[in-house]
Amino acid sequence: MLFGADGAVDGADPGTIFVDMSTISPDVTRVIAARLEEGGFPFLDAPVSGGDIGAQKGTLTIMVGGKPETFERVEPVFEAMGARITLVGENGAGQVTKACNQVLCAVNMLAVCEALSLASRSGIDLHKMHRVVTGGAAASWALENLGGAIIENNYDPGFMVRLIQKDIDICLEAGKALDLTLPGTALAQQLLRSNRAYGEGDLGTQAMFKAFERLGNFRLADD
């Protein structure tokens, strides 16, 4: 807990810097930042990308919102965790950037699943197709890694369905506040909701492919 009688702020020394590395709403982040600033506490929002592997290797991408002078003081701490560390803008900008990242993750996953569904139902060798398309303009991290995992029937989580769905909810709320249409993101959310309905929330995000199998009445393992 941050605020309140037993909150972290109540026991903090004056001028303590607070850093939030979770993924939350940009609007909520700005409210937190303003309240902390009123009390004399600098604040950075610093969500990350890179998953468990990035955290273990210290190669996370860290996207930061806040004042430059606060960022400079905390940057050495970030350098112990991340390889690409960027001050994006004022408080909330880190969370907006993370939302953009999650939009791309969700919609890339959607494209990977569609491509593999087409290849599977067409009866072509998925390993060969994967090797070809990862070498051209369609190449992406999601295709290389998560597409390969799907082909191997590997749904172990690097990032869980239930977690990206939580993040996508934040993205869609941000879009709603801006009267912005995010149709690909909304579709990805619905497919992931199917995963949740089938008890697949703790699987990796590549489990979106299971929703495609149900919609197309086929199974990759049967092809």
* Catalytic machinery residues: 98
Please list, in sequence order, all residues whose beta carbon lies within 8 angstroms of the beta carbon of residue 117, skipping any fewer than 6 positions away. Answer: 209, 212, 213, 216, 218
For residue 62, list its beta bridge partners: 48, 85
Q: What angle do CA 55, 106, 186 make, to 5 degrees?
A: 140
Q: What angle do CA 52, 98, 13 make, to 5 degrees?
A: 85
Q: Which residue has the tokens 């993924």?
A: 23
